[in-house]
Chain A
Amino acid sequence: MSDSADIKGPVVFTRHGVARGIRTALPLVIGTFPFGLVAGVISDQKGLSWLETLLMSALVFAGSSQLLALELWAEPAPILAAIIAAIVVNSRMAPMGAALAPWLDKLRGLPLWGSLAFMVDHAFALSAAEQRRGGRDAGYLLGIGVTLWCFWNISVSVGHVLGSAVRLPPGHPLYFAAIATFVAILVPLWRGVRRDFWPWLLAGVLAVLAWKAGLGPPWPLLIGAFAGAGLGAWLELRRE
Chain B
Amino acid sequence: MTLRPDVLLAIIGMAVATYLCRAGGYALFRALRPPRYVEVILQHLPGPIFMAYAMPALAAHGWKGWVAAVAVVAVQYFSRNLAAAILVGVGAMAGLGAFEAWFLAR
Contacts and interface: CB of A to CB of B under 8 A. Distances in A.
Interface of A: 2-4, 24, 26-28, 30-31, 48-52, 55-56, 59-62, 65-66, 69, 76-80, 82-83, 85-87, 90-101, 104-105, 113, 116-117, 119, 121, 124-125, 128-129, 171, 173-174, 176-177, 179-191, 196, 199-200, 202-208, 210-212, 220-230, 232-233, 236-237
B22 A90 contact: yes
A196 B14 CA distance: 35
A200 B69 contact: no
Contact of B51 (A77, A87, A186, A210): A186
Contacts of A65: 14, 18
Q: Which of A69, A82, A205 has the most CB of B within 10 A?
A: A82
Interface residues of B, number: 74
Interface string B51-95: 111111111110001001100110111001111011111110110
A87 B48 contact: no
Nearest to B48: A228
A51 B44 contact: no
Contact of B44 (A82, A221, A232): A232
B21 A204 contact: no
Contacts of B15: 59-60
A65 B16 CA distance: 13
Interface of B: 1-4, 6-15, 17-19, 21-30, 36-37, 39-61, 65, 68-69, 72-73, 75-77, 80-83, 85-91, 93-94, 97
- Select the residue from B12, B17, B27, B77 with max chain A CB neighbours within 10 A: B17
Contacts of B27: 97
A222 B51 CA distance: 11
By Cβ-Cβ distance, the 5 closest A-B pairs, closest first, are: A228-B48, A224-B52, A180-B89, A94-B25, A97-B26
20 contacts: A27-B82, A28-B86, A52-B8, A62-B18, A78-B10, A82-B11, A82-B14, A92-B21, A93-B22, A98-B25, A176-B65, A176-B68, A176-B90, A183-B73, A199-B47, A221-B53, A224-B55, A228-B47, A228-B48, A233-B41
Q: Is the interface of B mostly helix, strand, loop or mixed?
A: helix
Given A76-B6, A187-B76, A230-B41, A224 B90 contact: no
Contacts, number: 300
A187 B7 CA distance: 41
Given A31-B86, A98-B28, A224 B51 contact: yes
A174 B41 contact: no
Given A60-B14, A90-B17, A174-B90, A97 B22 contact: yes
A31 B93 CA distance: 14
A181 B82 contact: yes
A77 B50 contact: no
A238 B39 CA distance: 15
Given A27-B82, A79-B10, A200-B51, A90 B43 contact: no
Contacts of B86: 27-28, 30-31, 177, 180-181, 184
B68 A180 contact: yes
B49 to A, nearest CB: 4
Nearest to B70: A183
Nearest to A59: B15
